[in-house]
A and B are shown apart, each in its own frame.
Chain A
Amino acid sequence: MAETFKIISMILIILGTILSLVSTFGLIRLPDVYTRNHAASKSTTLGIMTILLGTFVYFLNVHGHFDSRVLLGIFFIFLTSPVAGHLISRSAYHSGVKLWDKSVEDDLKSSQDKVYVKK
């Protein structure tokens, strides 16, 4: 039975590593700050959560140790990482970082949220 859970946690950890790798490729390949932020905040969050879930499954079923800190870490990453991405993206927009020159739409430009733009 422990071998089954070892394989399950192995799959989860490898999946998380691949997701983090995909996120790194996105960080290198994508053209501007906003698309890079999209890649970095989304798929790294899922990757780290998957790695932590694999760790949790491993220690719960192989060593019989219920580690609530890992569960708390999953919840914490899920809660804070998108907010960090949002704040970085927003401060980039408000400090005037240009969009990619092939972007077609800028909804924030015509909306009410123009408080910080001093132009």
Chain B
Amino acid sequence: MKNDLILQTVTKVVVFIILLFSVSIFFGGHYSPGGGFVGGLLTAAAIVLLLLAYDIKTVAKLIPVDYKLVVATGLLISTLTVAGAMFFDVPMMTHAYQYFDIPILGHTSLHTAVLFDLGVYLVVVGVTMTIIQTIGEDE
């Protein structure tokens, strides 16, 4: 019988703060320090905290994601963002932005660099979690 009640209860609260902060850093990366890499590392850190408090099977049941597929998805998104510029007869990796009036968020600039950053984010999360899970579960 393990007695990890304090660690597990605090983890339940703290994981949401870390995830929220990682999303905030990811979306604020264009105007403030942060971006896809740091956001991805923070998300991976939240999952690692879950792995510390619970065992590896519980976390795999909680987040039923194959992290190798996450890496592949991230690479695909980044590649498609880079290649998408070809359809508009401009050089590769040309990004575009436009201002939109979104109901809740208001006057917001949406930039295609966010899509590239989303790919980076997914690759970082996937690679970090693949490394840690592979090291963690060798029996």
Residues on A facing B (Cβ under 8 Å):
69, 72, 75-76, 79-80, 83, 86-87, 113, 115
Contact = CB atoms under 8 A, between A and B. Distances in A.
B90 interface: no
Contacts of B6: 83, 86-87
Contacts of B21: 69, 72
B131 interface: no
Contacts of B1: 115
Nearest to B52: A87
Given A79-B10, A80-B10, A83-B10, A72 B17 contact: yes
B133 to A, nearest CB: 23
Contacts of A115: 1-3
B73 to A, nearest CB: 29
Q: Is the interface of B mostly helix, strand, loop or mixed?
A: helix
A76 B49 CA distance: 14
Q: How many interface residues does chain B have, given as a range?
A: 10 to 19
Q: Is the interface of A mostly helix, strand, loop or mixed?
A: helix
A102 B23 CA distance: 50
B10 A113 contact: no
B14 interface: yes
A113 B14 contact: no
A20 to B, nearest CB: 23
B3 A79 contact: no
Interface in B1-24: 1-3, 6-7, 10, 13-14, 17, 21
Contacts of B2: 115
21 contacts: A69-B21, A72-B17, A72-B21, A75-B17, A76-B14, A76-B17, A79-B10, A79-B13, A79-B14, A80-B10, A80-B14, A83-B6, A83-B7, A83-B10, A86-B6, A87-B6, A87-B7, A113-B3, A115-B1, A115-B2, A115-B3
